Amino acid sequence: MAESIWGGKGSFVSVCFASFTSEVEGNEVRAVEGGALRDRMLSPIRRFGQVVYVTLHFNQFKMKIENLAEWVMLAAALVVAGCKPEQGKALFKDPTADLPAKFKNQENLPKPDFSEAAKDPKFQEAIKEAARLLGAQPQPLKSEAEEEVVKGGVSFDVPHEKIEAMLLTVHTNFLAKGYYLFRYDNNFDAGGHMDRVGLLATADKYAVMAAMDTNGDNYDIGTAGVIAWMKDLEQEQPFILTEIGFDYMGGIFTAPVKNAPGLAKRMYQFCPDIVDQGVETVKALAGELEKGKLYFWWD
């Protein structure tokens, strides 16, 4: 999420740019990200685990937004286009502001080391089995957040359509053997890019989150905060996670959701982007929960 001269996450420039492009395209687009204007033709909009691609009319601005002067120029252009600073401020209120401190936690967690467990002949056989099922060669697994090798982990590049059809089944089968097979990069078949699937010698989903640095750092929710929130959720509403990436998670509930509207409100407070850049309303999110779907994504 962008930082701007108005300061902070979801600030005037990013919100205003999204609002302006929505008038052109009919869909909200987060066009400014990570301090840079996206330099590609397409920008993704995630809608509860699915992505829609829309063409940007602003791809000619292939430049890095690296200093105050450039932010001023971009902001001025947006104001001329019809955006006002107060519009951005009115549009954005951080829903996570009132989260308990244990979730607004950016404590550095020790990185799990699966090296010894990975030496087990049974896990080595599991790697071969995964390679055969997925039709891909094993590679080192890396945490996308830190670009660090996850010790003892392996990764596979798999066509989206293939892993989409088999993910829950293969995840369940490997978990029964004590191993965690999961998707950590879902490219939604965009541009022919492969999805990436990880395999770790553990059955502990929270160890996987720690290894992959799963976080909502844009909202000051670190990996420790994500793990704490998810453990609380599991106590009341058990779930399976088949996808664990650095900025998203996905899976299913293992029992009907008891209070979907209430849970949807809490999920929105914990992960606003699944509504604001996804299903659009908390009510719609509750409808997805009633279908058993579970998804988080921090832009």
| Residue that the structure tokens 């697994």 belong to | 141
Residue 38, pLDDT above cutoff 70 = no
pLDDT digits (tens, 9 = 90+) for 59-68: 333 334 445 5
**Judging by beta carbons within 10 Å of its beta carbon (0-12, 13-18, 19+), is residue 240 exposed, middle or buried?**
middle
pLDDT at 214 over 50: yes
Pairing of strands 180-185, 293-297: unpaired
The answer, yes or no, to whether residue 299 has pLDDT greater than 60, is yes
Whole-number percent of the chain with pLDDT over 90: 65
Phi and psi, residue 102, nearest 5°: -70, -20
**With bands split at pLDDT 50, 70 and 90, how would you rate the model's confidence at 93?**
confident
Calculate the average pLDDT of the chain.
Answer: 79
Phi/psi at 254 (5° precision)? -95, 0
pLDDT at 76: 63
Kindly indicate the confidence band of residue 83, based on its pLDDT and cuts at 50, 70 and 90.
Answer: low
Tokens found for residue 234: 């599991």
pLDDT at 15: 37
Amino acid found at 255: A
| Between 206 and 9, the higher pLDDT residue | 206
Q: Tell me the Ramachandran region of residue 170: left when phi exceeds 0, alpha when psi lies from -120 to 50, beta otherwise.
A: alpha
pLDDT at 263: 98
- Which pTM was predicted? 0.74
Q: pLDDT band for position 239 (50/70/90)?
A: very high
Q: CA–CA separation, 213 vs 28, rounded Å? A: 28
Return the pLDDT at 74.
Answer: 62
Residue 93 to residue 105: CA distance in whole angstroms: 20
Res. 1: pLDDT tops 90: no
CA distance 29 to 19: 8
Report the SS3 class of residue 293: strand
**How large is the average pLDDT for residues 78-98?**
62
Q: What is the dihedral of CA 209, 284, 268, 274, to 10 degrees?
A: 50
Parse the chain into domains and list their residue ranges. 12-93, 115-297
Report which DSSP code applies to 100: -
Q: What is the pLDDT of residue 217?
A: 94
CA distance 256 to 267: 16
Reported as a pLDDT band with limits 50, 70 and 90, residue 161 is: very high
pLDDT value for 145: 73
Question: Looking at residues 27-39, what average pLDDT do you find?
Answer: 33
Strands, E assignment, 147-214 = 148-158, 180-185, 195-200
For residue 111, pLDDT beyond 80: yes
The pairs formed by 35-41 with CB atoms below 8 angstroms and a separation of 24 or more are: 35/2, 35/3, 35/64, 35/65, 35/66, 36/64, 36/65, 37/61, 37/62, 37/63, 37/64, 37/65, 37/74, 39/63
Under 8 Å between Cβ of 228 and 190: no
